[in-house]
């Protein structure tokens, strides 16, 4: 019964410790808001900064796993490069050792005077009282979060005291001493550290348990050291789990965290024990204290970072070899390469900065054209993987709008002439319209997903009509993007009447579909999704007109015309009507002529 009671008390202490650490970390993150994340992906332009920030952030949130999981999210979303992530994970390994030093406070004891005031029970009590007062008496969230930090610290300290109290009877147990001696074997000690940390999902908790066991007086350096080495590797377990579903760079980041700790374990395991075999270190059988455990843990992690620091680039190459890119991944890499053109150092040179921004917008236009094609293909040939790709590329298009828009706003704050000012405004307009076209392409994909989920099928007439308009939509979008990329005035002038003709085609299709509904040939559900597709086609057409309008304005030669005074060049009524009629004749939905299924090649470009 005594053993069961001891185990339950130990587990209770572990539970309190983990809860306190979680509460304290969540409180710190809430107080900081998004500042930690902002620091993490904006202030890591050098490996040294990355290591320092990884150390600092992990010291604050008390979890290297949480920091690394956060970094995986940034890498996965393209906000951070792999080489930056490697530096941060090295720092995170150092930062997590700070917890061991904090836990040393729980072993401060005294019987009178200052020693009594600084005892762990006093520190815990003061933190708990201050924390609960902040939570109960304050209505401001910042003070309530501060209360969570203090309460979390108090619970963490109580958890450590509970663990220490639970195992203190073992110091007089010969059986326990003999069992602990088994783990002085390096392989068994490392295995214990890995398994224990993988189960607890926390390196800090594992170090806390080792520190608690050290108060029994039965833990020697020979036993504690291999366990500490294994704890680092075991901490990679939750990180590897978090990489499930991430892209290749996210997986590489998780693997980097694991490799760093495996490298440290192998280096210290081989190097230290080889030296011990030669020199027979006298301190191996020395009884360790909580402070010595914290010191050894910090020394191991700091030395790992120091030794690996010169090889960060080599680690990146190794990870690229271990996790190879597929054709899709290479496409994603090419997609994100455009953002490197938005160089902040060119901001004080508006002409060069605008040239770079134009190249990025050209890249965005290509992505939009391709994604519209993918979305239209889904109407005829739906697959979940192709649908997911459309949504993934839509996220990329949103990223283009965000990054390019921010860059252009920064450029607009510089001293510019009227032509450059006009260029900034025009680019911002194009970026906005391209992003909206991307949104409607995503909506088309969403409707096709709904059609697939609900097993909706259209009549033969509806499919034939839809096929004609899909082909017309492709033609319009392709012409618009070509006109913009090549600044082709002749093609741009054709967009407005062609878009009007396409909108008229959509209205014809809606009227024909209403006729089928009234005759009972189609259901209301079919009518709803059919109409939603046509509405998206019309919205895309209207934004194509807006993009062509930029081309029609931009070609005006005078640099002195203010942007708001620009008038888009227009066709004569006769020219407009001619192009309108030509488009309707080319895509005649009333014709009985059979057309091939409108499906565009989706080969990776």
pLDDT along the chain (605 residues), means of 10: 79 80 71 55 74 84 72 70 89 87 67 48 81 87 85 79 71 62 81 83 80 83 91 84 75 91 90 89 89 91 93 92 78 73 82 90 93 92 90 90 91 86 91 95 94 87 89 94 92 93 92 84 82 94 93 62 57 90 88 68 52
What are phi and psi for residue 220, nearest 5 degrees? -100, 170
Q: Rounded to the nearest 5 degrees, what angle is found at the Cα of 464, between the Cα atoms of 463 and 468?
A: 115
Instruction: State both tokens at 110.
Output: 């005294």
Distance, CA of 400 to CA of 374 (rounded, Å): 18
Residue by residue, what is the 3-state secondary structure of 143-159? Answer: HHHHHHHHHHHHHHHHH
> For residues 163, 168, 171 and 173, what is the CA-based torsion angle, rounded to 10 degrees?
-90
pLDDT at 111: 44
d(CA 262, CA 310) in angstroms, rounded, equals 17
> Quick one: pLDDT at residue 170?
65
Under a CB-based contact definition with an 8 Å cutoff, are residues 372 and 477 in contact? yes
Q: Find tokens 């450029």 and name the residue.
A: 411
Distance (Å) of CA 1 to CA 6, 209, 212 = 9, 22, 21
Distance of CA 604 to the CA centre of its chain: 24
Instruction: Name the maximum alpha-carbon separation found in the chain.
Output: 104
Tokens 């008229």 belong to 504
Angle at CA 474, nearest 5°, toward 472 and 476? 70
Which tokens go with 542?
């209207």
- Cβ atoms of residues 394 and 441 within 8 Å: yes
pLDDT of residue 113: 44
Contact indicator for 157, 211 with CB cutoff of 8 Å = no
What is the structure's pLDDT at 542?
A: 94
Instruction: Identify whether the C-beta of residue 380 lies closer than 8 Å to the C-beta of residue 389.
Output: no
For residue 493, give every residue at least 6 positions away whose Cβ sits within 8 Å of its Cβ, in sequence order, or none: 548, 552, 569, 571, 575, 579
pTM, to two decimals: 0.57
How much is the pLDDT for 172? 57
The length of the chain in residues reads: 605
Cβ distance 236 to 226 under 8 Å? no
Burial class (CB in 10 A: 0-12, 13-18, 19+), 217: middle
φ/ψ of 589, rounded to 5, equals -75, -15
Question: 């295995």: which residue's tokens?
Answer: 191
d(CA 516, CA 34): 54
Q: How far apart are CA 467 and CA 383, in angstroms?
A: 18
Q: Are 50 and 84 in contact (CB under 8 A)?
A: yes
Buried b (16+ CB within 10 A) or exposed e, 230-259: bbbbbbbbbbbebbeebbbbbbbbbbbbbb
Phi, psi of 299 (to 5 degrees): -60, -45
State the alpha helices, DSSP H only, in 168-202.
174-182, 186-200
Tokens of 346: 């060119």
Show the domains of the chain with their CATH numbers. Answer: 2-322 (no CATH), 330-586 (1.20.58.220)
Residues 297/289, Cβ–Cβ less than 8 Å = no
Per DSSP, the three-state class of 42 is helix
Buried b (16+ CB within 10 A) or exposed e, 571-604: beeeebeebbeebbeebebeeeeeeeebbbeeee
Give the containing element (helix H, strand E) for 446: helix 418-453
């Amino acid at each position: 019964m005594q053993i069961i009671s001891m185990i339950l008390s130990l587990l209770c202490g572990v539970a309190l410790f983990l809860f306190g650490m979680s509460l304290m970390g969540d409180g710190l993150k809430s107080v900081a808001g998004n500042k930690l994340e902002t620091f993490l992906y904006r202030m890591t332009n050098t490996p040294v900064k990355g290591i320092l920030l990884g150390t600092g952030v992990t010291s604050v949130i008390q979890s290297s796993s949480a920091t690394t999981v956060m970094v995986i999210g940034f890498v996965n979303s393209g906000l951070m490069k792999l080489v930056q992530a490697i530096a941060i994970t090295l720092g995170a390994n150092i930062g997590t050792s700070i917890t061991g030093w904090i836990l040393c406070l729980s072993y401060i004891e005294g019987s009178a005077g200052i020693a009594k005031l600084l005892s762990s029970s006093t520190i815990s009590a003061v933190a708990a009282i201050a924390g609960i007062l902040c939570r109960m008496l304050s209505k401001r969230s910042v003070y309530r979060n501060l209360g969570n930090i203090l309460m979390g610290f108090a619970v963490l300290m109580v958890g450590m005291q509970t663990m220490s109290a639970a195992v203190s009877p073992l110091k007089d147990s010969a059986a326990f001493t003999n069992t602990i001696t088994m783990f002085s074997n390096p392989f068994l000690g490392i295995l214990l550290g890995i398994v224990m940390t993988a189960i607890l999902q926390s390196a800090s908790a594992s170090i806390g348990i080792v520190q608690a066991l050290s108060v029994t007086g039965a833990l020697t350096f020979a036993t504690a050291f291999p366990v500490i080495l294994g704890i680092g590797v075991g901490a990679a377990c939750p990180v590897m789990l978090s990489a499930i579903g991430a892209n290749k760079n996210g997986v590489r980041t998780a693997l980097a965290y694991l490799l760093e700790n495996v490298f440290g374990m192998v280096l210290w395991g081989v190097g230290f024990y080889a030296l011990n075999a030669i020199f027979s270190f006298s301190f191996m059988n020395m009884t360790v204290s909580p402070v010595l455990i914290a010191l050894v843990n910090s020394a191991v992690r700091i030395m790992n970072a120091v030794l690996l620091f010169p090889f960060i680039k080599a680690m990146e190459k190794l990870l690229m070899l271990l996790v190879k890119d597929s054709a899709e991944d290479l496409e994603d890499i090419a997609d994100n390469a455009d953002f490197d053109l938005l160089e902040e150092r060119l901001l004080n040179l508006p002409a060069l900065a605008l040239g770079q921004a134009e190249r990025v917008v050209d890249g965005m236009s290509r992505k939009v054209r391709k994604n519209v094609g993918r979305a239209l293909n889904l109407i005829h040939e739906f697959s979940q993987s192709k649908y997911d790709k459309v949504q993934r590329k839509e996220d990329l298009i949103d990223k283009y709008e965000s990054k390019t828009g921010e860059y252009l706003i920064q450029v607009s704050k510089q001293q510019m002439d009227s032509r450059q000012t006009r260029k900034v405004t025009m680019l911002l307009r194009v970026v906005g319209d391209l992003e909206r076209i991307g949104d409607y392409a995503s909506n088309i994909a969403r409707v096709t997903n709904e059609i697939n989920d609900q097993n909706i099928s259209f009549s033969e007439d509806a499919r034939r009509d839809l096929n004609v308009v899909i082909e017309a939509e492709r033609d319009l979008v392709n012409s618009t993007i070509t006109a913009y990329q090549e600044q082709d005035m002749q093609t741009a002038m054709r967009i407005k009447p062609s878009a009007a003709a396409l909108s008229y085609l959509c209205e014809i299709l809606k009227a024909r579909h209403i006729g089928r509904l009234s005759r009972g040939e189609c259901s209301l559900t079919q009518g709803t999704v059919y109409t939603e597709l046509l509405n998206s086609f019309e919205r895309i057409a209207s934004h194509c007109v807006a993009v062509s309008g930029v081309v029609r304005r931009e070609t005006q030669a005078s640099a002195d015309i203010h942007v708001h005074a620009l008038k888009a060049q227009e066709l004569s009524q006769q020219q407009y009507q001619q192009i309108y009629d030509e488009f309707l004749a080319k895509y005649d939905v009333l014709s009985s002529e059979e057309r091939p299924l409108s499906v565009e090649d989706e080969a990776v470009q």
